[in-house]
């Protein structure tokens, strides 16, 4: 843990959400302090990605009940872009291609918009070029990314790297990385993980949504949560991730059911 006295960044209480009438999130509780790394694991369809998208404000999802506070402010009072400006970042599982829109132009607009909201200084194209090249060097990203349209024709790994680059540029307080490891070979995984580690400070925090414990060999979490059926059913430390790797998810689910039967 980078900051044992970190203030609360994110507080989720009893969050339920639906998509197209189906309830996907069924009451989530989660608290994230500055300086922490959380991993959310779980089988396919457990609601991990939905949780990430709901926090970022995806319009397809409807929040039914519960409360989410980001640095004390009601997150659901903010539009998706306001959340981003306030320092929330979503690294997408499948970053979308935007043909014809230049990657640096897009990133500069994002940077300047976020800077303007924070009272920071905006950069002109030349200054931004210098700034972004510095970040790219740090993250071992090929300069050719600056010649291309946003994600257009990018391989899966390139898209993920481009997400991490955006994270580096926007310097969010809370980064939610949705399956950032999926589709990466081991070398790409190492590079992406190293990038994330470099960006972690005692003042920010990271929530990793992942299927596999593999990523957690490189980015060491302080907490590991298991999500199933739209709820967090178990929380532990890094050892839990290793146990999940060995034993799968079924035992956690069984345990949870048994516990709830007793409670009920």
Partner 1 sequence: MSTVLDKLVNRPYQHGFRTEIEAETAPKGLNEDIIRLISTKKSEPEWLLEFRLNAYRHWLTMQEPTWPNVKYPKIDFQDIIYYSAPKPKKLKSMDEVDPELLRTFEKLGVPMNERAALAGVAVDVIFDSVSVATTYKKKLADVGIIFCSISEAVRDHPELVRKYLGSVVPTGDNYYAALNSAVFTDGSFCYIPKGVKCPMELSTYFRINTESSGQFERTLIIAEEGASVSYLEGCTAPKFDTNQLHAAVVELVALDNAKIKYSTVQNWYAGDENGVGGIYNFVTKRGLCKGVNSHISWTQVETGSAITWKYPSCVLLGDNSMGEFYSVALTNHHQQADTGTKMIHIGRNTKSTIVSKGISAGYSNNSYRGLVKIGPRADGARNYSQCDSMLIGSKCGANTFPYIQAQNATAKVEHEATTSKIGEDQLFYFQSRGIGTEEAVSMIINGFCKDVFQQLPMEFAVEATKLLGLKLEGSVG
Q: How far is the CB of 57 from partner 1 (least distance, A)?
A: 7
Interface with partner 1: number of residues (CB under 8 A): 31
Say whether residue 258 binds partner 1 (CB under 8 A).
no
Comparing CB distances to partner 1, the nearer of 110 and 188 is 110
Q: How far is the CB of 158 from partner 1 (least distance, A)?
A: 16
Which element (helix H / strand E) includes 161? helix 156-170
Q: Pick out residues in 176-235 that bind partner 1 (CB under 8 A).
A: none
Say whether residue 68 binds partner 1 (CB under 8 A).
no
E-strand spans in the chain? 8-19, 22-33, 37-41, 61-70, 73-74, 88-91, 98-102, 149-150, 174-178, 205-209, 223-228, 231-236
Q: How far is the CB of 177 from partner 1 (least distance, A)?
A: 12
Single out the residue of 42, 57, 66, 221 in contact with partner 1 (rule: CB under 8 A). 57
Rounded CA separation 125/240 (Å): 46
Q: How far is the CB of 80 from partner 1 (least distance, A)?
A: 4
Rounded CA separation 89/109 (Å): 15
Say whether residue 31 binds partner 1 (CB under 8 A).
no
Single out the residue of 33, 85, 159, 234 in contact with partner 1 (rule: CB under 8 A). 85
Residue matched to tokens 């990133």: 107
Say whether residue 146 binds partner 1 (CB under 8 A).
no
Say whether residue 133 binds partner 1 (CB under 8 A).
no
Say whether residue 113 binds partner 1 (CB under 8 A).
yes
Say whether residue 73 binds partner 1 (CB under 8 A).
no
Single out the residue of 1, 60, 220, 258 in contact with partner 1 (rule: CB under 8 A). 60
Comparing CB distances to partner 1, the nearer of 79 and 197 is 79
Comparing CB distances to partner 1, the nearer of 118 and 198 is 118
Nearest CA to 7 out of 37, 36, 41, 28 is that of 36
Q: What share of the chain is helix, strand, coil (3-state, %, to 5)?
A: 40, 30, 30
Say whether residue 114 binds partner 1 (CB under 8 A).
yes
CB 245 within 8 A of CB 239: no
Please classify residue 134 by burial: count the beta carbons closer than 10 Å to its beta carbon, then call 0-12 exposed, 13-18 middle and 19+ buried: exposed
Q: How far is the CB of 186 from partner 1 (least distance, A)?
A: 28
Cα radius of gyration (the chain): 18
Q: CA of 191: how far to CAs of 146, 185, 197, in Å?
A: 18, 10, 10
Q: How far is the CB of 190 from partner 1 (least distance, A)?
A: 26
Rounded CA separation 138/151 (Å): 20
- Contact residues for partner 1, defined by CB under 8 A: 56-60, 79-81, 83-85, 89-90, 92, 95-96, 98-102, 105-106, 109-110, 113-114, 117, 149, 166, 170
């Amino acid at each position: 843990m980078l900051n044992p006295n970190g203030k609360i960044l994110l507080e989720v209480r009893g969050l339920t959400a639906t998509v197209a009438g189906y309830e996907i999130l069924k009451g989530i509780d989660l608290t994230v302090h500055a300086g922490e790394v959380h991993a959310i694991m779980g089988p396919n369809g457990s609601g991990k990605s939905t949780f990430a998208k709901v926090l970022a404000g995806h319009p397809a999802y409807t929040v039914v009940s519960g409360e989410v506070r980001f640095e004390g402010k009601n997150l659901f009072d903010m539009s998706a872009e306001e959340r981003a400006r306030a320092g929330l970042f979503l690294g997408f599982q499948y970053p979308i291609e935007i043909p014809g829109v230049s990657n640096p132009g897009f990133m500069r607009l994002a940077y300047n918009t976020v800077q303007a909201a924070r009272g920071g200084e905006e950069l002109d194209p030349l200054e931004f070029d210098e700034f972004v090249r510095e970040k790219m060097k740090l993250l071992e990203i090929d300069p050719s990314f600056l010649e291309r349209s946003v994600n257009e024709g990018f391989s899966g790994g390139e898209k993920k790297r481009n997400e991490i680059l955006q994270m580096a540029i926007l310097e969010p307080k809370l980064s939610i990385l949705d399956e950032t490891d999926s589709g990466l070979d081991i070398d790409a995984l190492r590079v992406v993980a190293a990038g994330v580690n470099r960006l972690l400070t005692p003042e920010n925090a990271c929530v990793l949504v992942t299927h596999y414990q593999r990523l957690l060999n490189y980015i060491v979490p302080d907490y590991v949560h298991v999500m199933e059926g739209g709820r967090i059913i178990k929380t532990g430390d890094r050892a839990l991730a290793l146990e999940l790797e060995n034993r799968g998810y079924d035992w956690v689910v069984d345990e949870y059911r048994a516990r709830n039967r007793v409670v009920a």
